[in-house]
Structure 1
Amino acid sequence: MVKRTFYVRALWDDDAKVFYSESDIKGLHIETSNIEEFEEIIFDSAIELIVANHISLPDLAETPLKNLIPAILWQRPSLAAVAA
């Protein structure tokens, strides 16, 4: 069965002053100074990485399309903690 739900979290590194990613999407590594850029990278590359790294050719051939569309769980972090 094809995994359909993935998560991405933005964690703040106070020493480096960057957001970095924690995710179960193989190949997704993000490090940015602002959350808007972080989100842009998610929306630009996450689906492609899921298709490339988590769905096999037999899965693509044998699984109905409605069962291949992944869900990415993303919740914007509280920026109050970053500002502190």
Structure 2
Amino acid sequence: MRFYIKALWDEESGVFYSESDIMGLHIEAETVEEFQAIMKDLAPVMIMENHVSKKDFSKKSILDMIPSIFFTPPSLGNAAA
């Protein structure tokens, strides 16, 4: 299981927000550090709630169910974090 999370800067709102293929995950934060802290707390929960079924537990090995999350921080030119 592979997922991505990208932090993008919203100039108008003054926050970093997430783009992701993890269903239900939406992050907004004023700093990249805050974004990453929220991401570390919420991403695994959203994956377990929205991407893993009870059927998966009976049919897949535990190693196949450990997700890989690829984080792309904002480019330095997009915001002064």
The normalised TM-score by structure 1 is 0.89
Q: Percent identity?
A: 46
Residue type at the aligned position of 1:81: N
The normalised TM-score by structure 2 is 0.92
Give the CA deviation at 1:81: 2.5
RMSD (CA atoms): 1.0
* In structure 1, distance between residues paired with 2:9 and 2:21: 18
* In structure 1, distance between residues paired with 2:44 and 2:51: 10
Secondary structure at the aligned position of 1:10 is classed as strand
**Structure 1: 4+ residue segments shifted above 4 A:** none
Residue type at the aligned position of 1:32: A
* In structure 2, distance between residues paired with 1:42 and 1:18: 14
The alignment covers a number of residue pairs equal to 80
* In structure 2, distance between residues paired with 1:64 and 1:22: 29
Return 5+ residue gaps in structure 1 as ranges: none
Secondary structure at the aligned position of 2:9 is classed as strand
Give the CA deviation at 1:56: 0.7
* In structure 2, distance between residues paired with 1:74 and 1:14: 20
Among candidates 12, 17, 23, match of residue 14 of structure 2: 17
